[in-house]
Amino acid sequence: MGGGIAAYKVCEVVRHLVESGHMVRVVPTESALRFVGAATWAALSGEPVRSSVWDEVHEVAHVRLGRAADLVLVAPATANLLAAAAGGLADDLLTGILLTARCPVVFVPAMHTEMWEHPATRANVATLRSRGAVVVEPAVGRLTGPDSGPGRLPEPEAITTLARRILARGVTGLAADLAGRRVVVSAGGTREHLDPVRFLGNRSSGRQGYALARAAVARGAEVTVVAANVNLADPAGARLVRVTSAAELRDAVRAAATGADAVVMAAAVADFRPAAPYGAKIKKDPDGGVPPPVALVRTADVLAELTGAGAEPGRVVVGFAAETGGAGRDVLTPAREKLVRKGVDLLVVNEVGESLGFDSPDNAAVVLGADGSETVIPLGPKDALADVVWDLVAARLPPPGAAR
């Protein structure tokens, strides 16, 4: 734990992890103890707290703790701590543990915007990521004093969720296979305004898109989420771009996708928009008359544009197809046609309906591949579906550093 004011928020992270059944050993720097005392960490974790290599030297704590850990979570990770870790310094217990740990290491930065954006910090972050460490993107928001911008520590619940996902992957021996990759995920549902108070929309909550973002961060990727009208806690470690309409989503995805290794279009994007939205609220006819018809026009096909003329070679593109099945309807036949028509590498086909797909914690799907493959994902948490999708994406990515 680094010495930053955001250390107070990590108290909740420790509490959540302990309540989940994990054994947590808090190793603060001397500066961190100026913000939150050792007694607080000991009470929350139920474990002794050490910060110096000179405490109980015979145990060689920096080696023992580093070897025994299933996860090293550095939060808050200050600019100084990132620099020390990148440089391989080991002048206290925490940095010594970082050199001996053979488990996943996650840095959750927190600092002022100018420090986060400084070339030295960016170089240190790149170095740590190149070694397989997960360095999450900080949140954007209020910092100390009147300042606001990138550099805020993500919320404790989001950090805890990230830690749990990485621990779950560690159990199965899976590495950060997306380290060094840039990925874009769209989430939620677009809205097309009819008038200043009404819109055409859909039921997509953004849960699946956010699950995909969380999974990608946990696997080491640099993640940008284009979120359309999502009312969920921000996924820790992802850069968030908020949009409303299909046109705004198109612009944001195109900008973020430049140079990206993968784009996963999980958002439900409107196919049509009103040709001429009303400038004032449409009023009911007091005599019970029928309102005027609304002329619709097609929106841009964002998915097809990503794979069409000028598409970047080597980029893996994943589409989603929400289909309504039942009563003898075959959802895979139109989905296979869509796979070819859109030119995507993978198409995630999920049946939607009441309590199925949209705004539900669970999902089931069949993932169709352009190579003719079919991967069935049984009903389960959306986080589980997200990991299968990234497994399939990772298998299709060119080797790191290969020409694209």
pLDDT band at 171 (very low <50, low <70, confident <90, very high): very low
Dig out the tokens for 74 from the structure: 């550095």
> What pLDDT sits at residue 292?
81
Does the structure show a pLDDT above 50 at 280?
Answer: yes
pLDDT band at 180 (very low <50, low <70, confident <90, very high): confident
Does the structure show a pLDDT above 50 at 337?
Answer: yes
| 114: nearest Cα among 154, 77, 75, 151 | 151
Dig out the tokens for 72 from the structure: 């090293």
Average per-residue pLDDT for the chain: 90
- For the stretch 136-167, pLDDT in tens is 999 988 888 788 899 999 999 999 999 998 88
Q: Distance between CA 148 and CA 116 in Å, rounded?
A: 13
- Residue 57 CB: number of other CB atoms within 10 A? 9
Helix, strand, coil percentages for the chain (3-state, nearest 5): 35, 25, 40
Q: How far is CA 363 from CA 200, 360, 380, 384, in A?
A: 24, 7, 6, 9
How many Cα atoms within 13 Å fall on the side-chain side of residue 267?
Answer: 32
> What pLDDT sits at residue 264?
98
DSSP element (H, E) containing 341: helix 332-342
What residue type is 134 in one-letter code?
A: V
The residues pairing with 376 across neighbouring beta strands, listed in sequence order, are: 366
> What pLDDT sits at residue 142?
86
pTM, two decimals, is 0.84
The residues pairing with 170 across neighbouring beta strands, listed in sequence order, are: none
Domains of the chain, CATH where assigned = 7-171 (3.40.50.1950), 182-396 (3.40.50.10300)
Segment among 45-49, 108-112, 243-247, 360-364 with least mean pLDDT: 360-364
pLDDT band at 168 (very low <50, low <70, confident <90, very high): confident
The DSSP line for 200-263 is E-----SHHHHHHHHHHHHTT-EEEEEEES--SPPPTBEEEEEE-SHHHHHHHHHHHHTT-SEE
Select the more confidently predicted residue: 332 or 264: 264
pLDDT band at 402 (very low <50, low <70, confident <90, very high): low
- Residue 215 CB: number of other CB atoms within 10 A? 27
Residue environment code for 360-372, b if the CB has 16+ CB neighbours within 10 A, otherwise e: beebebbbbbbee
% the chain with pLDDT above 70 = 92
Select the more confidently predicted residue: 288 or 22: 22
Mean pLDDT over 358-368 rounds to 88
Q: List active site positions.
A: 202
- For the stretch 82-99, pLDDT in tens is 999 999 999 899 999 999
% the chain with pLDDT above 90 = 72
Q: What are phi and psi of 212, to 5 degrees?
A: -65, -40
Segment among 229-238, 355-364, 371-380 with least mean pLDDT: 355-364
| C-alpha distance across the termini of the chain, in Å | 39
pLDDT band at 61 (very low <50, low <70, confident <90, very high): low
> What pLDDT sits at residue 179?
86
Q: Distance between CA 77 and CA 391 in Å, rounded?
A: 29
List all residues 6 or more positions away from 88 whose beta carbon is below 8 Å from its beta carbon.
99
Mode of pairing for the β-strands spanning 222-228 and 105-109: unpaired
Does the structure show a pLDDT above 70 at 62?
Answer: no
By CB atoms closer than 10 A (0-12, 13-18, 19+), residue 208 is buried
